Chains A and B, each alone.
Chain A
Amino acid sequence: MKKRLNGLAWLLASVGFVIGLYGLYQRFTLGHRMADYGSYIPWGLWVAAYIYFIGLSAGSFLLSTLVYVARIERLEKIGKLSLFTAFACLVGALISIWLDLGHEFRVYRVVLHPNFRSMMSWMGILYSSYFLIILVELWFAMRVDLIAAGRGQGASAALARVVALGSTDTSDSAVERDRRILKVLGSIGVPLAIAFHGGVGALFGVVGARTYWHSGLTPIAFLVGALASGGALLAAIVYVWGPDRDGPAFEDMMRFLGKVVLAIVLLDLLLEVSEFFVGLYSEIPDEAIPIRAVLFGSRWYVFWVVHIFFGVLVPVWLLFRNAVLRRTGEGGRAAGAVALAGFLVAVTFMAVRLNIVIPAQINPEIAGLEYAFTGPGLKYTYLPTLGEWLVTVWVSSFSVLLFLVGYKLLPIVGRDDREVA
């Protein structure tokens, strides 16, 4: 089963990668003319995909800190896996937002000439630091395994030798030192991950012109969403690629992950309900119109079917039955059910991100502006073009492939713990 899922992931990601290339080709030949966003709705699918991936990354990173900082033993063996997942998602997020820029090759300006009053500049700085922390943390987490893997033969061993950067010390004191370093890095990582993902929320929250975003709850909702989607993704990944599968310890760990995800998904729902009720009650158009569009607009199914049904109700039911009610050893299906629930939450979370980005922009800031002058991009409707979807398919496939290749070549899960390899 897991072998098949692994194969399916390879297949889908490869197909997506190839098909998506056409979107990239369009993006680089037609520029932004191929996209449907414009002047009145300046941010579209790629921005939504960016916050989606960044959320997944922050979420799984924060879970990795449970291993390296809080030392939760049950999760011990998935530390590297969650770090690497965070890395693959971060890369996807950065590519997505990079392609969204009108002048993508000037992106260095954000880091070299930052404007400290702009949340976006802070993102540039925080991402760079986060990127580095993940890389260094991963290296220390894998160091001993890399040295062991480097002793073998073949491409994987050769790569391990290169990545090990000449380190050879596997003594107990060195391992202990790795642990201490990981604890420090992980501890720096926690506020960093909170800062940058809360910061992404603030990037939207500070925009006074868009009442739908302009709420103190926005950064918090982003964080909780990150934990929900990132944790859920990790539950699905651990099931297929995790260590120690099928043992009782594995099931125990999956049920623990399931409970964590269940709690956060419900908390996220609570925040959402609160935002919507408060926004609708006062009927201030700038806020109520976007909310109405989300709930009852022409694309109501994105919220009700994709998010609420497949992203909340079904997973909550699955998690409640399998992670909360079922005891260990009562049939081996609990782990699979938790993984399926995680997968559903993680994938459908894209609907949440789209419903954050797009609806806030559909309301003319000055009534009548939509009729005042016409031209491409001067409109208040937005539907991603095929090319935009293809780019996002490519970015997602690229991240998945990055994960799969890394998983195959690097000792992200200890050799003995593997099944698929």
Chain B
Amino acid sequence: MAFMDIEPQEIRRRMTEDLRRALAKPMNERHWVMVLDLAKCVGCTACTTACVAENHLPPGVVYRPVIEREIGRYPNVRKTFMPRPCMQCDNPPCVKVCPAHATWKRPDGIVEIDYDKCIGCRYCINACPYSARTFDKGFYYSDGTPYIPDYEKKPAFEYGRTWPRRNRHDSPAGNARKCTFCLHRIDKGLLPACVTTCLGDATYFGDSNDPDSLVSRLIASPRVMRLKAEFGTRPSTYYLV
């Protein structure tokens, strides 16, 4: 395929350049997309781990699980792996149902949540066809031990804000949380954490409004597929199958 002419070490440099170019434009002229090449995903879950570390996710909150599936019939079986971030739908059911205006669609395509406005009704969790939102109940990994280390209480920096976790009631505890495409990193010109850690070079990120970006070339591929497209959600996350 056309994009294979890029050397692996070139991919990240190229995506970083795409990112800088997109950031130079006004927000409503770029549209962030993620492309996941299922043929290249090796199921190492490095992205899942990187995401948990980057966003200081507590127990029970996950933004990017990697789903393992066995296809074929024994003995002719094969495993496939499918990472599942938030699809950042263009027609997001989670936004429509939110009674508190706590979640909305940004002009650059990312679905944002204001944890200070979210009442924690979890309607959006039920409405998302991808189970992309999870409920933060305020757990710590060290629950049940006498001491909760400070690193468990590190703030999150989602959506470019600081969310201190002073106690178990502070937002985002009690809220519905989801993948943000690492907006706080993008704003600084960095690729999302899952993209930079992906061992198999299976995760791509960039601006689909830029015809020269790497992702624009990828989503023109005939291998492209969007999850549950029949729901009319128009995801900004694409899969190459």
Residues of A within 8 A of B (CB): 31-33, 37-40, 42-43, 100-104, 106-107, 109-110, 113-115, 117-121, 123-124, 203, 206-210, 361, 364-369, 371-373, 375-378
Residues of B within 8 A of A (CB): 48, 59-62, 65-69, 82, 84, 93, 96-102, 117-123, 125-131, 133-139, 168-169, 171, 173-176, 227, 231
Beyond A33-B138, A209-B127, A371-B68, whether A103 also contacts B62 by CB under 8 A is no
Contact A375 B120 (CB under 8 A): no
Please name all residues of chain B whose beta carbon is closer than 8 Å to the beta carbon of A118 when the two chains form the complex: 96-99, 123
Please name all residues of chain B whose beta carbon is closer than 8 Å to the beta carbon of A372 when the two chains form the complex: 62, 65-68, 84
Known: A115-B101, A378-B62. 13 other contacts (CB 8 A): A31-B168, A32-B137, A43-B122, A102-B122, A103-B174, A106-B117, A115-B99, A209-B129, A372-B66, A372-B67, A373-B48, A376-B60, A377-B134
Interchain nearest-CB distance for A121 vs B (Å): 4
9 sampled A-B residue pairs with Cβ under 8 A:
A31-B173, A38-B135, A39-B60, A39-B135, A101-B119, A106-B119, A113-B100, A375-B60, A376-B60
Interchain nearest-CB distance for B64 vs A (Å): 9
Beyond A373-B48, A375-B61, whether A32 also contacts B99 by CB under 8 A is no
A365: which of B97, B129, B174 is its contact (CB, 8 Å)?
B129
Contact A42 B137 (CB under 8 A): no
Please name all residues of chain A whose beta carbon is closer than 8 Å to the beta carbon of B168 when the two chains form the complex: 31, 33
Contact A101 B121 (CB under 8 A): yes
Contact A114 B99 (CB under 8 A): yes
Per the bound structure, the CA–CA distance linking A110 and B129 in Å amounts to 24
Per the bound structure, the CA–CA distance linking A364 and B122 in Å amounts to 17
Beyond A33-B137, A109-B119, whether A120 also contacts B67 by CB under 8 A is no
A32: which of B48, B59, B67, B135 is its contact (CB, 8 Å)?
B135
Interchain nearest-CB distance for B66 vs A (Å): 6
Interchain nearest-CB distance for A346 vs B (Å): 27
Please name all residues of chain A whose beta carbon is closer than 8 Å to the beta carbon of B120 when the two chains form the complex: 101-104, 106
Please name all residues of chain B whose beta carbon is closer than 8 Å to the beta carbon of A31 when the two chains form the complex: 137-138, 168-169, 173-174
**B131 nearest CB neighbor, chain A only:** A365
Interchain nearest-CB distance for B149 vs A (Å): 18
Please name all residues of chain B whose beta carbon is closer than 8 Å to the beta carbon of A113 when the two chains form the complex: 100-101, 117
Please name all residues of chain A whose beta carbon is closer than 8 Å to the beta carbon of B136 when the two chains form the complex: 102
Contact B84 A366 (CB under 8 A): yes
B99: which of A39, A124, A206, A378 is its contact (CB, 8 Å)?
A124
Contact A39 B98 (CB under 8 A): no
Please name all residues of chain A whose beta carbon is closer than 8 Å to the beta carbon of B100 when the two chains form the complex: 106, 109-110, 113, 115, 121
